[in-house]
Structure 1
Amino acid sequence: MGEVFQFHREIIVGGDDPLSKTIAEELRGAGARIIKINTAADLLGAGVHRARAVVCAGPNDAVNLEIALLAREYSPNVRVVARLANDVLREAVTAVSGPGAILDVADLATPSLVEAVLSRNAHQFETAGIEFVVWGAEAPYDATLREIYADLAPVAVVHGKNSPTPGEVVPCPGRDLRVYAGDWTSMIGVKDELEARGITVPPPPVTRSRHSRLRRGIDAARAMRDDVNPMLVPSLAFALFLTLGSTALVHFTYRNPRMSWVDALYFASETITTVGYGDFSFAQQSTSLRLFGVALMFGGASVTAILVAFLADLLLSRRFVQTAGLRRARHMRDHVVVVGLGSIGVRVVRDLSAAGYDVLVIEPDENNRFLQTVAELDVPVIFGDSTMRQTLESARVDRARGVAVVTQDDMENIETGIVLLEILGSDTKVPIVMRVQGRALGTAVNRRFGFENVRSIVDLAAPWFIGAAMGLHVLGTFWVGQRSFMVGGMLVAPGSELDGLRMVELSTQTRVIAITRPEGPVRLRPRRDARLKAGDTVYIIGPYRELITTLRKGQPPPQTAVNGERAATLAAARAAHRPDVRPPRWAPEPDA
């Protein structure tokens, strides 16, 4: 009988950016054996035929697409988790893909950014046919969570200045935890339960201006008035004086025939505009009137040219386009300022506009590819450097309801945030939401500069990729304090560590909110002595690292196989691949 050995069930990870590296590190910490690849040519050598999942999360859509398609071709049952920013490609691949997920970082990160910039204290999601709400508020007085919120399940507590440990985040505490007045408490419950306790979760208010045609016309006239060349008004006044004065002079001095006021106005106008003489002329008039006609023609030509130049400058010049956002910003109030019109920024703008909020964008690139999108949404754009004080002041940040700084340059975002604090003051009530790439930088910025809403794109997106790779159905991510939480559902496999485990034996930093079983109804907030069993679908909430650890315990036990079977499987997989694929270049990393 051949030698029996254990499959490692490797997870193949492609990409070399911070997101890919974080995904690899977290998966390794969850017990997976990680094999890094650079291109689709490395898939066969990396053992795609026996891998649990293939994760391609690098920033290049073309590379990710090739890895995803070839991984599916080589192994129809492998979980393929791919990052694609292109909407058309993502929808097409999702339609033909098998197990796994096709994800977009911008779509994953935007909801948290929008919640933060609007200072929303409720996060809603639906699972097992039930609508849950994670609701946050400051503790009204010193007491235990049970005394304040009864049987609502606590998700997290952020201790405030009245606590012995200010700033500490306690995930999924027990109901007997003592909190202090001013501590931020985050609780979860069914929406109907919260409303029964007087806690309402209203839909976001529609504050976007719905102007009538008359109001839009008034705003347009006001904007043109503010932007016209200062010499335009004197030029118009002189043209009017010239026309009226010439009309009076012609009316009183023109002979054979005498002119009425209307004829005099007509004759003076055609002389000033130099459109020619067909019915009246100065030919038979006195010398002084003919000399006046000559002067009137030269003066009229000059005035007409000046007026045309000023109007062209106002209506047709590039300066008019560039300053359109500045003119509209002068009259905006209670709006949201979005700094940076990248893939994330345009989604933030789109979501805010769809929810009914007035939005204004600051963007340095006049040729940005998303300008047409925001123009269709009727969102004004100010072109300028967001790190300059005058640019931010022109966006009326002091009258805004929130500012989202979401450019793709971390240093530019930090500098913009610092300038915003200088303008608004360190005690401002205007939420400043700052996007950074990595987790460590986000933590450092929060501690050093005191920004309360620093959002790491890696922290927002990584849980979705990790959960999809390991079979967790991610339902949503949200933030409490500066810590990322996740809601997910998982199936308890037969023979896994969770099969037969009591609730009390689960991680103290996670909370089971519901269990579904094929033969029974949904069980909400199961008791601590309840036991899990194979086939249960468990819905849990907590910091995503703890959820991944719990997920690992719910996985089936390692598979075994005879060495001859493995060799046959490997040979079959290699025979199926195309002959033109280059030799693999990969190196398995050590087991965690």
Structure 2
Amino acid sequence: MREIMHREIIVSGDDALTKTIAEELRGAGARIIHINTAADLLGAGVHRARAVVCAGPNDAVNLEIALLARQYSPDVRVVARLGNDVLREAVAVVNGPGAILDVADLAAPSLVEAVLSRNAHQFDSAGTEFVVWGAPAPYDGTLREIYADLAPVAVVHGKKSPNPGEVVACPGRDLKVYAGDFTSMIGVKDELEARGIKVPPRTATRSSQSRVRRAIDALRAMRDDVNPMLLPSLALAAFLTIGSATVVRFAYQNPPMSWLDALYFTSETITTVGFGETPFGQQSTFLRLFVIGLMFTGVIITALVVAFLADLLLSRRFVQTAGLRRARRMRGHVVVIGLGSVGMRVISDLAAHGYDVVVIEDDENNRYLPTVAELDVPVVFGDSTMRQTLESARVDSARGIAVVTDNDMENIETGIVLLELLGSDTKTPIVMRVQGRALGTAIHQRFGFENVRSIVDLAAPWFIGAAMGLQVLGTFWVGQRSFMVGAMLVAAGSELDGRRMVDLTTQTRVIAVTRPEGPVSLRPRRNSQLQAGDTVYLIGPYRELIATLRKGQPPPLTAINGGRSAALAAARSPLRRLPRWAQEETEV
């Protein structure tokens, strides 16, 4: 019996990210089978599927599908989206082929790079530290004339160019650029530094605040937040204590009471902590009636004072006021608007690298507030679409602003208010998070925002690459276009087996090649030939990388009478000499 090897990829989820993943995989030649629950796995043919991708927004559904898929088929690639840190780390240990990914972790690095206006993206490939470095072209000329043998990654044409705004991916070195065009080049870090190109540091120094200043801020915040009735209540309690002590001092007879005893008796009566140490059975009727009134009055006054103090100490307004006071003194800080999972990752990255951060959040019960407090980051509570809230966070003196709430419409409205507040020609980078790719493009074109980041564009390449066998090493943006760095294995009998570098698509660039036996080849020559078993490190737009990955995969294999053909054995023959991750990815 003759059987064709199946190439199905099972996808679950119905949000924008999942739909994009399914569309891209289908465009790369995969047959997509959509499921809704783990109960559909067996009917979808999980035993013969190439991969299972569960990228919907529900962690519980994704976890169930991932675990059952691995149970049903130990060799299938399982690519799952899990936002819970504990679950993600635990499942990743036992997952096997595939990947366990978190959208917030994937999106945060690009958002941080944009908000800090970093012109360098660093990553490790084939044991070598590469740097994608960007800067405006200093003068008119070809890339070869300006940058010599540095490999170009992208060019964003500027105002002097015949096509301003056009992004050219992985151009040739003979492409002509004009002064002011943004050029993105890649090279080894040591080479760049030898050319005098300084790679900016990833860290900064957070501003320090003395304990005295913190104490003063706390006292002022307490003063501003105090209930107006607290001071009158305290004054009344003091007057009642002194007046009652005076009456008891002179009215109590046989034996007479000292001032200290009178004050002690009055205090314990008003605070309701005790009564009975001093007998009043033989005292005058006036004094006994007076003490009865003192007891009831003391209960009321004490209850009011305790209530007002508790309101002051436990009220979140106190925390808000303290955050506002710290924010007003900030300079050169980063304002992060929105304390969701993505916002929390951005804040953590910035704080870990020493940058001052101010958060704007409208939910006083946000579950990430304790984590932000541990990072010593002030929070301004309020509506981010209101000018007063933005001004409280000192956006006018910020080095960057990240608008990363979970609501696209709120992000857009906040971005528009920021432009009105700072001016359309502001140099402060405003990074806006949106969900879909089309909406991000429309916002960029209509409102002129230079740093619109689509969560789908940031996360989808990782899921697609993991499903198809590409080891994704990083993503970054040039202009409004997403680029990816990845490693792939050249399979025996594939389209890339024996192909020369010059015959590869111009939309991707090979930065290194490693062979099972031999040194790393950096920037291989145009006439170099790829061989089965090579691990190729590529950079370029992720759609082009996926297309190249497809060419590097083995052709459809056949099995006759239930046995594998000789072609399958030949395709797998170099596995013992390959890296472990490459061995896993060839198990189709």
Q: For 1:508, what is the secondary structure of its paired residue?
A: coil
Aligned position for 2:585: none
Report matched runs for 1:152-167 at 5 Å: 152-167=150-165
> Residue 221 of structure 2 contacts residue 321 of structure 2 at CA under 8 Å; is this kept in 1?
no
* Distance in 2 of aligned mates of 1:431 and 1:540: 29
Within 2, Cα distance between the matches of 1:128 and 1:176? 27
| 1:87 alignment partner, one of 77, 85, 94 | 85
SS in 1 for 2:335: strand
Q: 1:494 to 1:319 in 2, by over 3 A?
A: same
Instruction: Please show how residues 381-400 of structure 1 align to structure 2 within 5 Å.
Output: 381-400=379-398
Of 562, 565, 572, which aligns to 2:562?
565
**One-letter code aligned to 2:128:** I
> Match of 1:401, as an amino acid?
R
Q: 2:477 aligns to what? A: 479
CA 8–328 in structure 1, closer or farther in 2 if over 3 Å, else same? same
Structure-2 residue corresponding to 1:406: 404
Find the counterpart in structure 2 of residue 461 from structure 1. 459
In the alignment, the residues of structure 2 paired with residue 341 and residue 88 of structure 1 have an alpha-carbon distance, to the nearest angstrom, of 20
State yes or no: 1:432 paired with 2:430: yes
Deviations 1:436-459 (A, max 9, x none): 111111100110111111100110
Alignment correspondent of 1:250? none
Distance (Å, rounded) in 1 between the aligned partners of 2:73 and 2:108 = 33
Supply the AA of the counterpart residue of 1:199: I
The counterpart of 1:489, out of the listed 483, 487, 490, is: 487
Q: Match for 1:147 among 141, 145, 148?
A: 145
CA distance in 2: counterparts of 1:519 and 1:304, whole angstroms: 83
Deviation at 1:565, TM superposition (A): 3.1
Structure 2 gap ranges (5+): 242-257, 278-297, 564-588
What is the match of residue 245 of structure 2?
Answer: none
* Residue 509 (1) aligns with residue 496 (2): no
User: What corresponds to 1:116 in structure 2?
Assistant: 114
CA-CA distance at 1:541 after TM superposition: 0.1
What's the CA shift string for 1:231-268, capped at 9, x where partnerless?
98999999999x9xxxxxxxxxxxxxxxxxxx999999
* CA pair 268-7 structure 1, distance change in 2 beyond 3 A: closer
Q: How many residues align?
A: 545
> Given that residues 324 and 393 in structure 2 are in contact (C-alpha distance below 8 angstroms), is that contact kept between their aligned partners in structure 1?
yes
Per the alignment, do residues 305 and 21 of structure 1 end up closer, same or farther by CA in structure 2, a change over 3 Å counting? closer
* Structure 1: distance between partners of 2:202 and 2:538: 27
* 1:154-175 C-alpha deviation (Å, 9 max, x unpaired): 1000011111111000000111
Aligned-pair distance for 1:269?
13
- Residue 223 of structure 1 deviates from its aligned partner by 3.9
3-state SS of paired residue (2:487): strand
1:392-431 Cα shifts (integer Å, max 9, x gaps): 1211111111111111111111111111111111111111
SS in 1 for 2:458: helix
- CA drift at 1:327: 2.6
Task: Give the distance between the partners of 2:207 and 2:260, measured in 1 at CA.
Answer: 45
Show CA shifts across 1:84-123 (max 9, x none): 1111111111111111111111111110011111111111
SS in 2 for 1:555: coil
| CA drift at 1:339 | 1.1
Note the alpha carbon deviations across 1:543-562, whole angstroms, 9 max, x for none.
00000000000001111124
Q: TM-score, normalised by structure 2?
A: 0.83
Asked if the contact 1:157/1:170 (under 8 Å) is kept, the reply is yes
Listed as ranges, the gaps of 5+ residues in structure 1 are: 244-262, 279-299, 567-592
Could you tell me whether the CA contact under 8 Å between 2:217 and 2:322 is conserved in 1? no
Distance in structure 1 (CA, Å) of the matches to 2:550 and 2:131: 26
8 Å CA contact 1:273–1:304 kept in 2: the answer is no
8 Å CA contact 1:273, 1:301 repeated in 2: no
CA contact (8 A) 2:316 2:364 kept: no
Equivalent-residue separation in structure 1 for 2:217 and 2:14 (angstroms)? 50
Shift of 1:338: 1.1
* Alignment-mate amino acid for residue 538 of structure 1: V
Deviations 1:531-550 (A, max 9, x none): 11111100000000000000
Partner residue in 1 for 2:417: 419
Aligned counterparts of 1:39 and 1:231: Cα–Cα separation in 2 = 58
The answer to whether structure 1 residue 6 and structure 2 residue 4 are counterparts is yes
Q: Structure 1 counterpart of 2:387, which letter?
A: R
Report how far residue 326 of structure 1 moved.
Answer: 2.1
Which SS does the other structure have where 1:207 is aligned? coil
Equivalent of residue 61 in structure 1, options 56, 59, 62: 59
Alpha-carbon contact 2:490-2:535 (below 8 Å) kept: yes
Which residue identity is paired with 1:18?
A: A
Amino acid at match of 1:565: G
Distance verdict in 2 for CA 1:269–1:423, change over 3 Å:
farther
Per-residue deviation, residues 459-501 of structure 1 (Å, max 9, x unmatched): 0001001111111000000000000000000110011000000
Change (3 A) 1:273 1:304: farther
Aligned counterpart in structure 1 of residue 42 of structure 2, from 33, 39, 44? 44
Task: Tell me the distance in 2 between the aligned counterparts of 1:477 and 1:328.
Answer: 35
- 1:125 and 2:123 equivalent? yes
| 1:319 paired to 2:327 | no
State the alpha-carbon separation in 2 of the partners of residues 49 and 38 from structure 1.
17
* Secondary structure, counterpart of 2:354 in structure 1: coil
Aligned to 2:280: none
CA–CA separation in structure 2 for the residues paired with 1:406 and 1:468: 26
Contact kept in structure 1, 2:77 and 2:97, CA below 8 Å: yes
Task: Rate the CA distance shift 1:265–1:102 in 2: closer, same or farther, 3 A.
Answer: same
Q: Structure 1: how far apart are the matches of 2:79 and 2:225?
A: 52
The answer for the alignment partner of 2:569 in structure 1 is none
Output the amino acid matched with 2:28.
A
Pair 45,327 (structure 1): closer, same or farther in 2 beyond 3 Å: same
1:343 aligns with 2:349: no
User: Which aligned pairs between 1:237-386 and structure 2 lie closer than 5 A?
Assistant: 314-386=312-384
Name which of structure 1's ranges 124-133 and 195-204 shifts more when overlaid on structure 2: 195-204
Mean CA deviation greater in 542-551 or 76-85: 76-85
Kindly tell me: are residues 307 and 36 of structure 1, through their superposed partners in 2, closer, same or farther at Cα, counting changes over 3 Å?
closer
Code of the residue aligned with 1:478 in structure 2: it is F
Distance in 2 between the 1:86 and 1:224 partners?
37
The structure showing larger relative contact order (alpha-carbon pairs under 8 Å, at least 6 residues apart) is: 1
The Cα shift of 1:328 comes to 2.3
Closer, same or farther in 2 for the Cα pair 1:13/1:272, shift >3 Å? closer
SS of the equivalent of 1:552 reads: helix
Q: Distance in 2 between matches of 1:156 and 1:356?
A: 30
Q: 1:311 to 1:542 in 2, by over 3 A?
A: same
Q: Per-residue CA shift, 1:28-56, capped at 9, x if unaligned?
A: 11111111111112112212111111111
Q: Which amino acid aligns with 2:12?
A: G
1:17 is the counterpart of 2:11:
no
Checking the alignment, whether the CA contact within 8 Å between 1:8 and 1:33 is kept in structure 2 is no
8 Å contact from structure 1 (residues 272, 301) kept in 2: no
Where 1:323 maps in the other structure, the secondary structure is helix
Q: Which residue matches 1:260? A: none
Kindly report which structure 2 residues correspond to 1:219-238, keeping only aligned pairs within 5 A, or say none. 219-224=217-222, 227=225
